[in-house]
Structure 1
Amino acid sequence: MHVMMFRATIRGEHLSDIEGAVRTLFAAIQAQQPQGVRYASSRLGDSSTYVILLALDQPGENPLASIPEFRAFQEQIQGWLAEPTVPQPLTVVGSYNLF
């Protein structure tokens, strides 16, 4: 399994945009129920920083890429970022039903 973490800081004027876009994105993911992927988005406290976790059963094969709403979200978020996101690989040391 391949696990990545993304930290995204959103410009303040786009916080409501990102919240709505994330709801739309996860509704589409839930409707399609792609296999081989685990995906979560969380906001750190009351900040404008989000932590996104992505786990792929097959590295290099992201089933989310086939979902139009995911591709649209990827394009939209670029204009909302306060700074570039940097993917960070995670080594899972322990997990219960998360990875």
Structure 2
Amino acid sequence: MIRSKVKAEHVTEVEAAARRVFAALQQAQPDGIRYSSCRLSDGVTYMALLELDEGVENPLPSLPEFREFQENLKNWMAEPPIPEQLTVVGSYRFF
């Protein structure tokens, strides 16, 4: 999981770029990946969740849309992102 706070004036750009990443994923249909992005209630903090099946290499860096998103994040961020490792205790059709 990565939690990121962006500058309020860039929320529209962040969300448009995220939609392009998800559209590219939808088109590519890579196996073994679950990926989600959510905006929190403050309107400027986002949480991205990524799970990869064992032995599956992360396909995100191979997508031009994701690389563009990552490059632009440098200017959109209000503070450094906070990566956290999660341990799934229970899940119903989420992971």
Report the TM-score, using the length of structure 2 for normalisation: 0.91
CA displacement at 1:58 relative to structure 2: 3.1
Choose which of 52, 63, 71 in structure 1 pairs with 2:67.
71
The superposition leaves residues 6-50 of structure 1 with CA deviations (integer Å, 9 ceiling, x where unpaired) of 101010110111111111111111110111111000001252001
Structure 1: 5+ residue runs without aligned partners?
Answer: none
RMSD of the TM alignment (CA)?
A: 1.5
Is 1:89 matched with 2:88? no
What does 1:28-39 correspond to in 2, within 5 Å? 28-39=24-35
Structure 2: 5+ residue runs without aligned partners?
Answer: none
Aligned residues: 95
Amino acid of the residue matched to residue 9 of structure 1? Answer: K
Compare the two structures and name the one with the higher strand fraction.
Answer: 1
Quote the Cα distance in structure 2 between the aligned partners of 1:95 and 1:70: 27
Choose which of 45, 48, 52 in structure 2 pairs with 1:49.
45
Quote the Cα distance in structure 2 between the aligned partners of 1:20 and 1:96: 29
Report the TM-score, using the length of structure 1 for normalisation: 0.88
